[in-house]
Copies of this chain bind each other. A is one copy, B any other.
Amino acid sequence: MPVDDATLSKMAQRLRRDCLESTSEAGSGHPTSCMSAAELASVLFFEEMRFDPRDPSGRDQDVFVLSKGHAAPLLWAALKEAGGIDDDLLTLRRFDSRLEGHPTPRVPWVRVATGSLGQGLCAAAGMAWARKVDRSEGRVYVLLGDGEAAEGSVWEAAEFASFHGLDNLCAIVDVNRLGQSGPTMYQHDLEPYLSRFRGFGWEAAAVDGHDVKAVKDVLARSRATKGRPFGIVARTLKGKGVSFLENKDGWHGKAVKKGEELGKALAELGDTSVAIKVEPRRYPPSRPPASAEPRVEPAYKPGQEAATREAYGAALATLARTCPQAVALDGDVKNSTFSEKFKEAAPERFAEAYIAEQVMVGAALGASTEGKIPFASTFACFLSRAYDFIRMAVYSKPSHLVLCGSHAGVSIGEDGPSQMALEDLAMMRGLIGATVLYPSDAVSAERLVETAARTPGIVYIRTSRPKTKVIYDNAEAFPVGGSKTLRSSAHDRVTIVAAGVTLAEALKAHEVLGKDGIAARVIDLYSVKPIDEAALRKAAEETRGIVTVEDHCASGGIGDAVASAVAGRTRVEILGVRDVPRSGKPDELLKAYGISAEAIVAAARRLV
């Protein structure tokens, strides 16, 4: 039942009132950034989108992503007026409120946390892609600011969306002319936005974002467009509706003062007594996508040589065949990370993101909100390109998000430092609640893929380029937070903690030290975070010191993790890369940067 334009316009005014009141009560926030988009929100929530205010799952419904996250009060207001939430809007930004300063999934209608600009469209593209995979009907709407269109990630999302033919995706840019610290690059010139959307393969149209009828019409055009996504470039005024805010500089991120100032603003909005009952509107029920418990079947022989990245690919292939909720995304290195094995087995659930790591990760996160277990893989060093996306994913609390970084460390050899991840462990350990896994042989690699697929939240798997010997039995289990003590005796004098390619060095060092009568314990720290505190503290008590050795910068990685875990219970010698590395042969580089068996032996001798 269509709502008439006058009522939608009045609802826009009501949303403005809600935003002014809630931010004034909070004493902070971005009311003017909400006011520019009030008609857009009114038409979306009360006319265009098909959704059921009682069910935030998004199943067989249209969904909405607020990419310009600082307009959170507008989202809270629209949800409240539509009957999706019953929170008191005046609790905005309070510690005891779900209505945070920027959207987080504490409110279940929020599928991904936003507030770092330029990310919403990436996630939305992932949702739209997953819906294409599932052949489910609901559309994905995303509201962006004009300022955030400066982020390159927006255009990565744009190319991803057009390349994958996501005609179930509609992006609306709220061109309100004013950024945080001044006017935007193009102010009210809509042409650059239109030509970019078109240059990136989208259908695009300009609209007066305060003209309810025009907004309805362009959304109808968007819904009717097939084969490509649709971009709406809406000319708006920041602070629209209140004379002393409207189109005025200096009002970004500033609440109107309670009392007289607020009263004046609200008076200008006029009569805002309106209610629109949102009837549940859903698409015909679609068949729930199939799912199965993730399982891998490693089948290696002891001593067999295989790179952990190859084993990662083999495990992905198994999941592709047996776990229908698994999907994979690549940054044009699938033949190096071996995620191409997934593509071979299940091309329809594989998304090529080309050399655009931000949308690769953002789209993976979006896919996770559609019930997928996404595996996004690239060289570990290039995941640093998407660090802000991974950081924000923490706040999205995804059911699953598996990131795999291959080619870790100097052991990649001749390609040189630009391709060597030496900071990925630091970056992943620095994320609250993330799981960091680091296999050392093919069996542990496959098993850790299985572990990752079963672990909620963000899981990082670090794989290596060189082949390493298989040391584990195919049936060995690798739970999160565990470790493997590979060598130990009643008279161990020193402990060596290693993972990945340095584990073989540790085992070599164990031999050398043994010949000298120094018994060394060797621990495979395959779970870098959470870390096996019990095993490490036991080693701290039973041996005179711990040598850690990692193909990573000496700061932020395994050494730090172990030193923090033992927290002073024993001496710790950290071996890691301390100088800028260069091209060379892998073994040459392990030696040159002090993470070879020889370096371990020397460090162990210093401790005993």
Contacts and interface: CB of A to CB of B under 8 A. Distances in A.
A370 interface: no
A206 B218 CA distance: 34
Contacts of A116: 381-382, 385, 418
Nearest to A358: B152
A433 interface: yes
A101 interface: yes
A424 to B, nearest CB: 8
Interface stretch (A134-142, A510-518, A572-580): A572-580
B560 A416 contact: no
A181 B381 contact: no
A97 B416 CA distance: 12
Interface of A: 26, 28-29, 69, 93-95, 97, 100-102, 104, 106, 113-118, 147-148, 150-156, 159, 163, 179-182, 184-185, 192, 195-196, 198-201, 330, 332-336, 340, 352, 354-359, 381-382, 384-385, 387-388, 391-392, 394-395, 397, 413-419, 422-423, 425-427, 429-433, 529, 540, 545-546, 553, 555-557, 559-561, 563-564, 566-574, 577-580, 582-585, 588-589, 592
A198 B195 contact: yes
The complex is assembled from copies of this chain, and their number is 2
A422 B390 CA distance: 13
A392 B385 CA distance: 11
A152 B150 contact: no
A580 B432 contact: yes
A368 to B, nearest CB: 16
Contacts of A352: 182
Given A151-B355, A336-B180, A392-B418, A561 B555 contact: yes
Nearest to A106: B582
Given A115-B415, A116-B382, A180-B333, A432 B104 contact: no
A95 B589 contact: yes
B430 A555 contact: yes
A404 to B, nearest CB: 15
20 contacts: A95-B588, A101-B419, A113-B418, A115-B416, A116-B418, A151-B156, A152-B153, A152-B356, A179-B332, A181-B336, A184-B354, A192-B201, A385-B387, A422-B430, A431-B553, A432-B579, A559-B564, A564-B564, A564-B572, A566-B568
